[in-house]
Amino acid sequence: MCIHRVPRGRSVAVPRSRCPRCHGEISWYDNIPVLSWCWLGGKCRHCKEKISVRYPLVELLMAALFLSVHFLSSDSSHLVFGLILTFVLVVISIVDLDWRIIPDIFSLGLLGVGIVLSPMNEGLGDNGPARALASVVGAGVGFGSAWIMATIGRRVFKREALGGGDVKLLAGVGAILGWSGVLTSWFLGSVLGSVVFIGLKFRRKMDWGTYLPFGPFLAAGAWAHWAWPSFFLKWWGLAGGP
């Protein structure tokens, strides 16, 4: 619902879900994730229009990631922030692929939640003040590094190399994961993005200069850092800091 409605400027609360073709209201029993799609054979109950398989795939992806968050969480704080981060990263990734934007409600929302709840984020330090400082510093590093890259991209390549949504997303990632999480997002995002671009270029589905949304790759890097923080902290030469 968030993926479909938010980019269109629509409320996620009202009205109730309707078929985009016949506008028939979708009953609650036809709106159960995955199960309803299978029961209806991937078609609207009213007009028999096909329902994209992407709906159950996204629902299965979210369920799998939430289950992974449960098993990978080291404590209740890690779990809560993992669930928040996972939800936002999945939504913004798909929206960015579809619309080439990252809505502020998600990026700035992640930033606000990260800073406000930072005293409870045990992954950022040993006490409340240290965690709050690490969150603010992480947000600053995320925003600053992305803004610098965006500015360099515009001046060197004479076009947008990094969108404003990516800049705000990295600020939100830094607020949750600290500045080391920003480094991981940059590194893994760049590697994954390059691999995908080269693969598409090799298959002649993309040319030099073709726009490739960077948000999903940054999101993958951020989630990897959340999932295996000890590994990446050691990677960046940090014993136990953000």
102-118 pLDDT, tens digit per residue, is: 999 999 999 999 999 99
235/24 Cα distance (integer angstroms): 53
Helices (H), 100-213: 104-116, 128-157, 164-177, 179-202
- Judge whether 203 lies within some domain: yes
Task: Output b/e per residue, 161-174; b: 16+ Cβ within 10 A.
Answer: bbbebbbbbbbbbb
- Judge whether 43 lies within some domain: no
- Judge whether 8 lies within some domain: no
- Judge whether 15 lies within some domain: no
Give the chain's domain count. Answer: 1
- Judge whether 197 lies within some domain: yes
The pLDDT of residue 81: 97
76's tokens: 């209740």
What pLDDT, in 10s, does the model give residues 158-184? 777 788 999 999 999 999 999 999 999
Q: Is the pLDDT of residue 218 over 80?
A: yes
Supply the angle between the helices 164-177 and 215-227 in degrees, to the nearest 10: 10
Distances 155 to 63, 142, 145, 148, 211 between C-alpha atoms, Å: 42, 20, 16, 11, 17
Query: Residue 234 corresponds to which amino acid?
Result: K
Q: Is the pLDDT of residue 211 over 80?
A: no
CB 77, CB 123: distance < 8 Å: yes
DSSP 28: G
The pTM of the whole model exceeds 0.85: yes
| 20: confidence class by pLDDT, cuts 50, 70, 90 | confident
The pLDDT of residue 210: 72
Distances 29 to 1, 4, 34, 35, 208 between C-alpha atoms, Å: 16, 20, 11, 9, 47
- Judge whether 102 lies within some domain: yes
Domain that holds residue 97: 76-235
- Judge whether 138 lies within some domain: yes
- Judge whether 164 lies within some domain: yes
Residue keyed to tokens 């938010």: 6
| 38: confidence class by pLDDT, cuts 50, 70, 90 | very high
143/170 Cα distance (integer angstroms): 6
**What is the residue-averaged pLDDT of the chain?**
91
- Give me the sign of the Cα torsion angle 236, 161, 115, 132: positive
